[in-house]
Chain A
Amino acid sequence: MTVRRKETLAGLLFAAPWILGFSVFLAYPLAASVYYSFTDYSVLREPVFIGAQNYSDLMRDELFWKTLENTLVFALLALPASLVVSVGIALLLNSRVKGMAFYRTAVYIPSLVPMIALAMIWLWMFNGERGLVNELLGGVGIKAPNWIGDPSWSKPALALIALWGIGNAVVIYLAGLQDVPQSLYESAELDGATPWKKTRFVTLPMISPVIQFNLIMGIIAALQIFAVPYVMFPNGSPARSTYFYTMYLFDNAFRYQKMGYACAMGWILFLLIFALTMIALRATEKRVHYGGV
């Protein structure tokens, strides 16, 4: 066997677990999902082909649009805030200060909390009458809203919870920041740059690939939000303000026995994520600076 052939064989063998896994756990379900989306599939009976009825029903389904709207609004609230806050915190945690290990752990721990505990803790913290958040705000003289009970404030509450869990993103930025060469900072200082200018013209451009990466990951995650609202807000109350797309999908699949309908929803979600990711990539490509290490 030629060297080339040998390497190809080795390459395929090494990649075999993924090729197998991809086919069985991804490609097949994706294809099946397309098929099911054109059927009426109620779990205990065989799927019945109904053409594009699921899709046309979805278009006329008010809950579909409502949950989509809720999800997009949430993403719009959570993403920009997460980006700014996580970069900001990472910059802060990158300074050479004593006891940095403690501060970093403090910021990271919240992202380790399991979903249910998280939901319960925040359900309590955001309680309109007695929650800690409102007690603290009241202490500073701000009349706080009824976070859990008011439809206009339930999504902001969820966005705040999301911010609390950005430890992961922060750690990734920290890694990126550590790779910014000191020499760049030194030459900036020689030019008389203030800390702010240094951040703006050295740090940010150098970690722009990381920012782009986290933005994409953030879009993919935000559009799939499920566990926390599922536990905190039964049925997406109040008034369906926290009924998100994936929750409605889950309900259709496992509570209303409309699996075909759920698959159709899944595909629309996929296309949406794909489109938004492409837009995000296209829009940020110009500002991403790849001169990194």
Chain B
Amino acid sequence: MKAARERSVRAERRKWALAIHAALIALSAAFLLPLIWMLSTSVKTIEETMKDPPVWLPSEFQWHNYWDALSYNSDKLGYVPFLVYGRNTLLICILVVAGTVISNSIVAYSFARLRWPGRNVAFALTLATMMVPFPVVMVPLFGLFRELDWIGTFRPLWVPAWFGAAFNIFLLRQFFRTIPFELSEAAKLDGCSEWGIFTRVIVPLSKPALAVVALFSFLFTWNDFLGPLIYLLNQDTFTLSLGLQFYQSQHGGTQWHLLMAASTTVIAPVIVVFFFAQRTFIQGISVTGLKG
């Protein structure tokens, strides 16, 4: 009797597993299809990209598209210094990620591990600011940066990151609170200052959470469009997300194949980073209590 039931349970499970497999494959296909198309377009000629019905595999792989897209003064595009854009984006990302990790952990420490009058109200206020849409502050912020003479430079894009952001403060504060207070107590008894506790106890234990903060801010900055659109003026200072616009010609003669080659190049490093950091990433989110 029991054996029969076991068999039916196993059969049930196998059917279920098969269904899940099928669903997963269909899902991946749906999500990856546009990207595969992007890849295939990046190695076609411009005529092939227009073919009706669309072709998947070009007759010849135009690998030189990547060279054309990334090099300066390609005669089809005029001046599109793609590598310059890449360098600019990387610079901004480094500064933003460094600033984000450092400033937000410091501030979160205050909210999570230190007691001071008005702290809870301040924290609630911090959470409330997550609701403030960027457009509300966009205009005065532009005016502020203009007064400081920062428009046209990278400073509006990275300096604010060194002063904390509500979302990251929230994330790290939740995490810091899960570290047992006894550890802080013990360090204090050993004569550690608050800074000492922070650097020697809290930070080493927070690597996954800090990794998540770093990753989120990297991704956001790498793809940021509105910020560079408003604050950057000189073409040589543009970032990748802005730079991709140049593949769109004025009269609508978009160089699809070059645009896709450039886009692939822009996405590639991010994919690589994610693939390797995947487990840390998910673990980190779990551990920061972001989910609750």
A–B direct touch in complex (beta carbons closer than 8 A): yes
Interface residues in chain A, defined as those with a beta carbon under 8 Å from any beta carbon in chain B? 7-8, 10-15, 17-18, 20-22, 24-26, 28-30, 32-33, 36, 41, 89, 92-93, 95, 97, 101-110, 112-117, 120-122, 124-125, 129-130, 132, 135, 164, 171-176, 178-179, 195, 207, 209-210, 213, 220, 223-224, 226-227, 231, 246, 249-250, 253-254, 259, 262-263, 265-267, 269-270, 273-274, 277, 290, 292-293
User: In the complex, how many angstroms separate the beta carbon of A250 from the nearest chain B beta carbon?
Assistant: 7
Chain A residues whose CB sits within 8 angstroms of the CB of B38 once the complex forms: 117, 121
A213 to B170, CA, bound (A): 12
Whole-angstrom CA separation of A102 from B16 in the bound complex: 20
CB proximity of A153 to chain B, nearest CB, Å: 18
**Interface stretch of the complex, out of B60-68, B75-83, B268-276:** B268-276
Q: Mark B243-254, 1 if CB is under 8 A from A, else 0.
A: 011011000001
Contacting pair A172 B241 (CB below 8 A): no
Task: Place the interface of chain B in its size category.
Answer: 35 or more
Q: Is A171 touching B114 in the complex (CB atoms < 8 A)?
A: no
- How far, in angstroms, from A173 to B132 measured CA to CA in the complex? 24
Number of A-B contacts defined by CB within 8 Å: 272
Known: A18-B169, A32-B140, A117-B38. 13 other contacts (CB 8 A): A8-B115, A11-B116, A12-B110, A17-B163, A25-B160, A33-B136, A33-B140, A95-B17, A97-B20, A117-B263, A179-B292, A210-B291, A259-B139
Question: Among B17, B137, B278, which residue has its beta carbon within 8 angstroms of that of A30?
Answer: B137
Interface residue from A11, A108, A254 paired with B274 (Cβ < 8 Å):
A108
Residue B35 interfacial (CB < 8 Å): yes
Q: How far is the CA of A209 from the CA of B79 in the complex (A)?
A: 50
Q: Are A120 and B263 in contact (CB under 8 A)?
A: yes
Q: Which of B34, B106, B107, B275 contacts A122 (CB 8 A)?
A: B34
Interface pair A210/B139, CB less than 8 Å apart: no
The answer to whether B54 touches A171, judged by C-beta atoms less than 8 angstroms apart, is no
**Most chain A C-beta atoms within 10 Å of own C-beta, residue among B115, B281, B286:** B286
Contacting residue for A293 out of B139, B164, B198, B292, CB 8 A: B292
Q: Which residues of A contact B136 (CB under 8 A)?
A: 29-30, 33, 263, 266-267, 269-270
With contacts A25-B160, A109-B274, A114-B244 known, is A227 near B27, CB below 8 A? Answer: no
Picked from B119, B194, B263, B291, the residue with its CB within 8 Å of the CB of A175 is B291
Note all chain A residues with C-beta closer than 8 A to B115: 7-8, 11
Q: Assess A95 versus B34: contact at CB under 8 Å? Given A20-B163, A117-B267.
A: no
User: Within residues 19 to 70 of chain B, which ones have a CB less than 8 A from any CB in chain A?
Assistant: 20-21, 23-24, 27-28, 31-35, 37-38, 41, 52-54
CB neighbours (8 Å) of B20 from chain A are 92, 95, 97
**Which chain B residues lie closer than 8 Å to A105 at the CB level?**
271, 274-275, 278
* Chain B residues within 8 Å of A253, by CB: 138-139
Instruction: Find out whether the CB atom of A171 lies under 8 angstroms from the CB atom of B285.
Output: yes
**Does A207 contact B291, Cβ atoms closer than 8 Å?**
yes
**Which residues, 118 to 176 on B, are CB-close (under 8 Å) to A?**
119, 122, 126, 129-141, 143-144, 160, 162-164, 169
> Across the interface, which residues of B come within 8 angstroms of A104, CB to CB?
278, 282
> Contacts A29-B144, A132-B33, A270-B133: A115 and B28 contacting too (C-beta < 8 A)?
no
Which residues of A have CB within 8 Å of B266? 114, 117
A277 touches B27 (CB 8 A): no
Q: Which residues of A contact B140 (CB under 8 A)?
A: 28-30, 32-33, 36, 263
Q: Which of A33, A106, A224 contacts B32 (CB 8 A)?
A: A106
